[in-house]
Amino acid sequence: MNKPLPFPIRKECPPGACVCGRDDLLDAWERAPDGTDIRVLRLTRDEEKKLIAAIENLATYEDLGRIERRLHELLGITLTITPSVHGVSTVMGLSIKLAEQPGLCRKTHEALPAALRRCFRARPDIVYALLNARDLLGAEDR
């Protein structure tokens, strides 16, 4: 790569360990920097650790909303949390997904939802608020 990047980026994963498309994303950015969104690469391993700690320490439903907005604004990551159509009796009844996105590491796809589940187990009031924000049939308000 010849072009300098505007910010530090995540180091590449070991060969064969990930299918994130990091290198393809960087190649696309080098060819067309104005049309390629590389914000997700800002999530270095150190920044990911900080993000996971912040997620695990969420105190309110409003904090969850702020984290969701910041993920999208700063990194382009779309987080979706939806209750099961069969009801939610534990945090496993919530579907927590990150949208597929070039450059988003497989480990991140696993680590962020796991951190949210740990947070929800520790603070069930956030889950109750999340469920209250949706109607009983599971339609989303957000």
Residue 123 predicted with pLDDT over 90 = yes
Q: What are phi and psi of 80, to 5 degrees?
A: -125, 125
Structure tokens belonging to residue 26: 């960087």
Q: Please tell me the predicted confidence (pLDDT) of residue 77.
A: 94
Give the per-residue pLDDT at 130: 86
pLDDT for residue 22: 87
DSSP helix/strand/coil, 33: helix
* Each residue's pLDDT tens digit, 29-86: 888 878 888 999 999 999 999 999 999 999 999 999 999 999 999 999 999 988 765 5
Q: How far apart (Å, rounded) are the C-alpha atoms in residues 104 and 98?
A: 9
Predicted structure pTM score:
0.83
Count how many Cα atoms sit within 13 Å of the Cα of residue 111 in the half-sphere of its side chain: 16
Average pLDDT of the chain? 84
pLDDT of residue 136: 46
φ/ψ of 61, rounded to 5, equals -60, -35
Confidence of residue 88 (pLDDT cuts 50, 70, 90): low
* Residue with more model confidence, 19 or 85: 19
Higher-pLDDT residue of 132, 141: 132
Q: Which of 3-12, 67-76, 86-95, 97-106 has the highest mean pLDDT?
A: 67-76
Helices (H), the chain: 22-31, 45-56, 61-70, 106-122, 124-132
